[in-house]
Amino acid sequence: MNYEIAIDEHHAESDEFWKPLGTLLHEMLHLWQHIHGAPPRSFAFNYHNTQFREKAATLGLIVDRWGNTCYLPGNSPFFNLLNEYGVTPPSLPPIEKQLSRMGRSGSSKLKLWECGCPVKVRVAVPHFRARCLVCNSLFVKKDPP
């Protein structure tokens, strides 16, 4: 396994400095689970099984089964660590309000792309350059209706 965590530079340049640190912790939990835990048997659906979500909660991250993450406000291990290193934790709404915003609808990072056939694919990268093996045309991003 390649023990590497890559964070998109646009995410790292967030106006809220603490958010990329939360993302880093989330990704480090995947590594922890791979080495010490029980990673999901099938990666086709998601990487966020019960063990992952429970471990995340002990650190102050609330993760749903799709990987959407919100943060336990106030006195949590994650925000305590930020505070210890001089990063001022934000004031967050109660967890119930964050969870209501975290619903699956509209939260997918996957964008629809089509070729000339039209074969349809969904990818999470903002710039996707691929050619269809059926019709040999490039995939084009489709805007949501």
pLDDT one-digit tens code per residue, 21-64? 999 999 999 999 988 988 777 655 567 888 999 999 999 999 98
Entry field: residues in the chain: 145
Distance, CA of 88 to CA of 68 (rounded, Å): 23
Question: Which residue range(s) make up the domain with 114?
Answer: 109-145
Report pLDDT for 42: 65
Which tens digit of pLDDT belongs to each residue from 67-88? Answer: 888 898 888 999 999 999 998 8
pTM assigned to the model: 0.66
Separation of CA 43 from chain center = 15
**88 and 38 in a common domain:** yes
**135 and 89 in a common domain:** no
Percentage of residues in the chain with pLDDT exceeding 70?
87
Helix (H) or strand (E) holding 70: strand 69-71
Distance, CA of 117 to CA of 127 (rounded, Å): 20
Residue 144 is given by DSSP the state: P
